Each structure stands twice: as structure tokens, then as C-alpha cells.
Structure 1
């Protein structure tokens, strides 16, 4: 009987230890979610009058831990090869309550204008690309950011000779980069939960 109770005691200790470890681990990680912001038909009509060809909105919710930040970036991808583009960081508030962010593209005759909307304001830049066929795709479901792992929210892709473009899966990163090798140029909008730059 004593042996039986001893075994139960050891099992109880093991369960308690696992629970404490799991709880401790989760408390050290931020839980920041990103969700597509659906627009009403009236809101879509208003945006169409601004001249912005394509734009997508998202909301950020959650709480940043001390020493953490969110990096907003538009990465240029040419035949699968990445190069840095627009970048913004320095989220002013730790408590994110449906903070609105956006990524848009204005397709001009000679170049593209890239629009990066962050909680702190608007960042703009030019992409000197002329294409004959283009496609814009964005995230359709809610996701949670993981530390130091980019989350792709939207992508604009284009081919210079008018060849058809494939549908891109923003959640399957490996397949996404594989397909972008077959695209002349793309601009990928990504968010990354990072340590704050000192």
C-alpha cells in the first residue's frame, strides 16, 4: 500500500512540474495576433476614389513584452532572390487593441508606389518596375506572430512579359518562395516579432 501511494505521489509531482514549466514558458512569449480587416462596400467605394489601386488592411491585437518590438517590412523578391525594401519599427504602445495597419500598391505607368501603414503613420517608397501582368493577394485568416519568424500578410507579384501568374499561399512559406522563383518581381509585406533595437 505504501508503495502504491509513493507511485501516486511521484506522478502528481511530475504533472505539477510539467504544468509549471509549460505555464512559465508561455508567460515569456507575447501573444500578438494579426487579422484581416473586412471593409464595407461603402468603405471600399471611398478608397476607390483615392487612386490607390490595391490596398489591404489588418488589425494587430495583444500585448508586447518588455524589450520586444514589431518590424514592418516590404521585401523585394526577384526570381526568388530577396532584397531589403521599406522597413519600419518602433511600436509606441505595448497594448495593441485592434491597431490598424495596411499595405497598398499604386500602379503607375513608369513605376509602383508602395504604401506601408503602421500604428505610427505611413511609409511610402517606389518600386521601379514595369510589368504587363500583375496580381495582389493577401491573408484571409487570423494568425499569431512567432518570435523572429516573418509572417507574410500580402504580396504583389508581376511578370514583365505578360505570362500568367500563379496563386500564392502566404501561410506555406516554403511553397511561397518556390513559386516566387517563377515570378519576375514581387513585393512581400511581412511582420516580425523581434527584440527591440538598442
Structure 2
């Protein structure tokens, strides 16, 4: 394992762990809200040292019921058609969130040909990764959440997107706050990072 990746893991866990210092009091009902989190100059420098240039953080607040869960997914679309899940993460250890950070990062420096991406999901309890092989010449990476939103049961919220092209131009899909981006049918390859509030798997 590369030294930069170990440093990246430490940085993410440090940022996410620090956000969990405060506890949430029980309010008698379930509600989870999400908003984008902007890095400070110091935190941005830590990410630069980690070697990951593309990363988005999201701040969660609220509390899950005993039979509820959050499921995070990385989904692959080709010309707007759903091709499958690249990976997913659920069975959250935490049920209470106060300024709790989750992250999604793209590393495109795996080899000199740049034909593979490492996709990284960060949670308070650890990091999950998967690889995505492609031959894209250009790409864009962006957050799809620009203000605080509240999750609705069983409705996915799309947090971040990666768009790739093998041509010299790249379409720019539009997205309302957390909605499935419109226009991904005009994009060769799309990767979406999403979360859904759901019942816990039995």
C-alpha cells in the first residue's frame, strides 16, 4: 500500500473523527440532514499531502431509529443507462450524528496511463475503496449538494458525480440539490455517489 494512501486514510479519519466529538441528544423522532462541508486552508493542505486532489466532504446531523440505516452507493452509468453498483456500504455503527463528516474521493494517479480510478468512500468508522477502469481523456468532478437538505425515507440523495469523456468535449449535466443529474444520457461515463435512508436489513 502506498504511503500517500496511508496518509490519506489518517487525514480522513482525523477530520471525520474530530467532527464526532459532540453528541446528539435524543429528540424523539428520526431526522437526518446533509450539507456540504468546506475545508479550511489547513485541511486542504492535508489533502494535498495525501495525494488526493478530488474530494468532497458532507456533514450529517440527526439520529437514526433502531431499525433504520444509511446506505451509501457508488453507481455507474453509461450514456445515462444504469450499469450497476461498483460498491456499497451500509450497517452504520453510528446512529447519532452531529457535524459528522462523510467523504467521497477520486484518485486518478494509479498508473501512468491513467486508465483506472480509485474511488474512496470515507465514514466515521473507516474507508471503503473500489477501482473503475476506463479510457477517458477528460473528466469533471463535482458536488451535487449545495445547501442543507433533509433525507426522505427510501429516496436516494446524490451527493457527488464524476463525468468522463474520450472526446475533446464534455457535457455538463445539471442537478437540483441532491436529485439525479439531468443530461447524463449525453455523457459517456458517469459515476454517482449516493446515500439513502432506509430500514435496516434483517
TM-score category by the smaller chain? Answer: 0.7 to 0.9
RMSD, aligned α-carbons: 1.8
Check if 1:46 corresponds to 2:51. Answer: no
Q: Which runs of 5+ in 2 are unaligned?
A: 1-26
Check if 1:125 corresponds to 2:126. Answer: no
**Larger radius of gyration, structure 1 or 2?**
1
Superposed CA offset, 1:123-182 (max 9, x none)? 0000101211111110221111110000011101111122223153152736x2x41110
Distance 1:95 1:148 in 2: 19
Distance 1:170 1:69 in 2: 24
Which structure has greater helix proportion?
1
Tell me, what secondary structure is at the counterpart of 1:49? helix
Check if 1:195 corresponds to 2:199. Answer: yes
The Cα shift of 1:89 comes to: 0.4
Distance 1:172 1:101 in 2: 15
Q: Give the alignment of 1:90-101 within 5 angstroms.
A: 90-101=91-102
Q: Give the alignment of 1:78-157 within 5 angstroms.
A: 78-82=78-82, 83-108=84-109, 109-138=114-143, 139-157=145-163
The Cα shift of 1:110 comes to: 2.1
Superposed CA offset, 1:52-108 (max 9, x none)? 120011111101012000001111111111111110001112211122100000113
Contact 1:32–1:64 (Cα < 8 Å) also in 2: yes
Check if 1:160 corresponds to 2:166. Answer: yes
TM-score (norm 1): 0.80
Distance 2:198 2:52 in 1: 30
TM-score (norm 2): 0.78
Distance 1:68 1:28 in 2: 14
The number of residues matched between the two structures is: 170
User: Segments of 4+ in structure 1 off by > 3 A?
Assistant: none
